[in-house]
Amino acid sequence: MKRAPAAAKINLALVVGPPRDDGKHEVLTVLQRIDLVDRVELEEAPELRVEGFEGDTLVTAALRALARNAGVEPRWHVRIEKRIPVAGGLGGGSSDAATALRLANATLPEPIADEELHRIAAGLGADVPFFLADGPQLGTGDGSELEPLDLPQDFWVVVLLPHGAAKSSTGDVYAAFDARHDAAGFAERRSTLLDGLAGVKRPRDLAALPPNDLASSPLAEAIEAAGAFRADVSGAGPALYGLFHQRKDAEAARRALRRLGRTWLAAPAWYG
């Protein structure tokens, strides 16, 4: 039996451009793990079976793709203990899939190379490769081309999933983005993000990064009013996050924000 945590992510920034020839959008995003985690257990088994998340398709697809690549049958039993809210923009499904890939690959007589594992992950979804890498990353292209970032990690995160929040499909969120013609000015926003990253030395400097292009929420103002030095939607939403310098302030904000939805207190995580 192999076990590992599968961490959530937040997008500390997300700049979106026009659709590419392959139908995906050009993006520039800053990806940060947090220690809000699912738990994944994997063992060899007579056939492929995934338990613990009734709506799973991604872990199953990941393991089938790995088996095809390795020339073996997908004979693993996976148990997922979910804690990351589903369809919240926090990457829980992608993280579960990447974690299952790592664990299953380690059971192979000849584990496949990291580069090939990355290729399989990118074929599953733009966020999946991030969870194979350690530390914060800059995602470019469709988000799956990664570059490590040296960012401060000494801050606290409050995650808020608003009451009654229902996420539209990611495709619908991007379609709405296109309908608003929000890709205009992508080059300028991209430059603003890169310039902002170059100036990040302390946690408070993250506040200078541009806001999420893809999704927004008036509740970000409520999180800032509770003391966050930065608040935004993560990914396509609907979950939001707030960044805090001190744990006590983050805990107080979490209590104050419970009237608006489910809340979690977390810290940056380097891996998992």
Distance of CA 130 to the CA centre of its chain: 8
Could you give the CA distance from residue 170 to residue 167 in angstroms, rounded to a whole number? Answer: 8
Cα–Cα distance for residue pair 51/154, rounded to 1 Å: 35
CA dihedral sign, ordered 165, 169, 170, 175: negative
Whether 9 is a known active-site residue: answer yes
- For the question of residue 127 being annotated catalytic, the response is yes
List of residues 6+ apart from 17 with CB closer than 8 A: 25, 26, 27, 28, 183, 186, 190
Q: At a CB cut-off of 8 Å and minimum separation 6, what does 263 contact?
A: 158, 159, 160, 161, 254, 257
- Per annotation, catalytic residue among 38, 127, 213, 232: 127
CA distances to 3, 32, 125 from 120, rounded to whole Å, are 21, 21, 9
Distance separating alpha carbons of residues 201 and 41, to the nearest angstrom: 37
Q: What residues are annotated to the active site?
A: 9, 127
